[in-house]
């Protein structure tokens, strides 16, 4: 009886040793995913550029299969003749921002909740601004030096974006502090601007816009975005434009097919 007990004890000990051995070996061989590996990477060129966005992640399928994609070329002579059945109004004042380099653009996130775009009495809160060089949209096949996108969102996640063309000219004083604090790479910490930006002063005097339904211009290329592209550009000095392009030489998505969408010309109140 004692002999059987010893044999059973030894057998049990051997089994435990084997389990511990294989557990350690599996743990050592299992790949540990770094934070970088877990991040879905996309870019504006090469193997992860716009033509491949839909293959970078299953979440980006709309980038390749969507029918309402942005940006587009706006042919002025082909805008819809009938009026847009929407009432659109801007509620813009001063806003504070914090800025960061997210690896794809300079992003300015609004910390002031009072600015909004009203569409048929539905409020779209301004969430932030980011920039592209050269412009993403075209007017009659022509690009501008840069384009700013002012993002707005409702409580239930509906999006509206104001596209703002930028051309070479006088120094843009409203964006001067933002440019002075522009992070050169994503390793730099988020910077909080000390002075508010007067958004009403940032926009051009004439507020004629081209409206159409499109998408985000970067992954995941979500559709159903209400676009308002201002016809009149604002100005930036060559130094300001070159400062941005020295960080992001080219971060614009190619023009997408219109696919029989209507483009309306309206005026923002």
Instruction: Please give the positions annotated as active site.
Output: 104
Distances (CA, A) of 236 to 51, 170, 174, 213: 31, 6, 10, 28
DSSP strand pairing (73-74 vs 138-139): parallel
Q: Are 161 and 227 in contact (CB under 8 A)?
A: yes
Name every residue whose Cβ is closer than 8 Å to that of residue 150 and which is 6 or more positions away in sequence.
Answer: 126, 128, 129, 161, 162, 164, 199
Helix locations, 79-228, DSSP H: 176-180, 199-202
Tokens of 171: 């120094």
């Amino acid at each position: 009886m004692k002999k059987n007990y010893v044999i059973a004890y030894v057998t049990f000990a051997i089994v435990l040793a084997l389990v511990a051995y294989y557990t350690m070996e599996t743990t050592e061989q299992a790949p540990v995913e770094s934070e970088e590996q877990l991040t879905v990477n996309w870019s504006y060129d090469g193997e992860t550029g716009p033509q491949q966005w839909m293959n970078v992640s299953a979440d980006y399928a709309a980038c390749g299969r969507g029918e309402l994609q942005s940006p587009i070329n706006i042919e002025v002579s082909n805008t819809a003749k009938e009026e847009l059945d929407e009432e659109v109004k801007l509620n813009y004042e001063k806003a504070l921002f914090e800025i960061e380099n997210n690896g794809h653009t300079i992003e300015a996130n609004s910390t002031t909740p009072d600015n909004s775009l009203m569409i048929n009495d539905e409020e779209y809160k301004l969430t932030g601004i980011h920039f592209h060089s050269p412009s993403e949209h075209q007017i009659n096949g022509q690009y501008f030096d840069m384009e700013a996108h002012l993002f707005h969102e409702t409580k239930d996640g509906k999006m509206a974006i104001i596209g703002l063309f930028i051309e070479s000219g006088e120094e843009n004083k409203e964006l001067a502090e933002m440019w002075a604090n522009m992070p050169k790479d994503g390793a730099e910490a988020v910077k909080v601007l000390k002075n508010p930006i007067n958004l009403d002063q940032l926009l051009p005097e004439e507020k004629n816009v081209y409206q159409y339904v499109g998408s985000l211009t970067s992954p995941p290329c979500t559709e159903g975005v209400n676009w308002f592209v201002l016809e009149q550009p604002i100005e930036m000095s060559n130094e300001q434009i070159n400062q941005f392009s020295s960080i992001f030489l080219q971060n614009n998505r190619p023009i997408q097919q219109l696919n029989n969408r209507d483009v309306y010309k309206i005026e923002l109140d």
